[in-house]
């Protein structure tokens, strides 16, 4: 079975990516890998920021919040974190472009952060589907 990912907006396919190297022409795959290499630093920074469960929980809480904002104290209370942990992790999320400080002690997901968190939902489902197909 040939798997692919499509990004569709208003019924129009924005892009489509085959998930098997065999489904790419050699030239297209080489070009895509070269372009991907140019963004390794950006990808590494994002994945580094999100490589910590506390930061993922913080982002999840922000996405769940009615107005997509939380106060510093909300993170402490909702996630049972001490101030130092909230400060360190919010700083890293800000540096990664996923979190914005909107006022004194108040934080919001950046548009990029919201989109990335929603992509993580899709990624989880894709991993589960692939594991089922592979019998893992």
Q: Where are the domains of the chain?
A: 53-136
CA-CA distance, 108 to 59, in Å (whole number)? 9
**CATH numeric code, 53-136:** 1.10.10.10
What per-residue confidence (pLDDT) applies to 136? 65
CA-CA distance, 91 to 48, in Å (whole number)? 13
Query: Long-range contacts: 89-95, Cβ < 8 Å, 24+?
Result: 89/52, 89/54, 89/55, 89/58, 90/58, 92/49, 92/52, 92/55, 93/49, 93/55, 93/58, 93/59, 95/45, 95/49
Per-residue pLDDT of the chain (136 residues; tens, 9 = 90+): 588 899 899 999 999 999 889 999 999 999 999 998 888 888 888 889 989 999 999 999 999 999 889 999 999 999 999 999 999 999 999 999 999 999 888 999 999 999 989 988 988 998 898 899 887 6
CA-CA distance, 94 to 52, in Å (whole number)? 14
């Amino acid at each position: 079975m040939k798997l692919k990912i499509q990004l569709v907006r208003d019924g129009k396919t924005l892009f489509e990516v085959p998930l098997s190297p065999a489904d790419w022409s050699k030239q297209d795959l080489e070009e895509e890998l070269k372009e991907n290499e140019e963004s390794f630093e950006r990808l590494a920074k994002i994945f580094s920021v999100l490589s910590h469960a506390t930061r993922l929980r913080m982002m999840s809480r922000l996405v769940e919040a009615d107005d997509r904002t939380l106060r510093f104290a909300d993170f402490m209370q909702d996630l049972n974190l001490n101030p130092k942990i909230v400060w360190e992790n919010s700083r890293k999320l800000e540096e990664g472009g996923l979190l914005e400080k909107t006022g004194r002690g108040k934080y919001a997901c950046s548009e990029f952060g919201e989109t990335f968190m929603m992509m993580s939902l899709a990624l989880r489902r894709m991993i589960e589907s692939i594991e089922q197909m592979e019998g893992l």
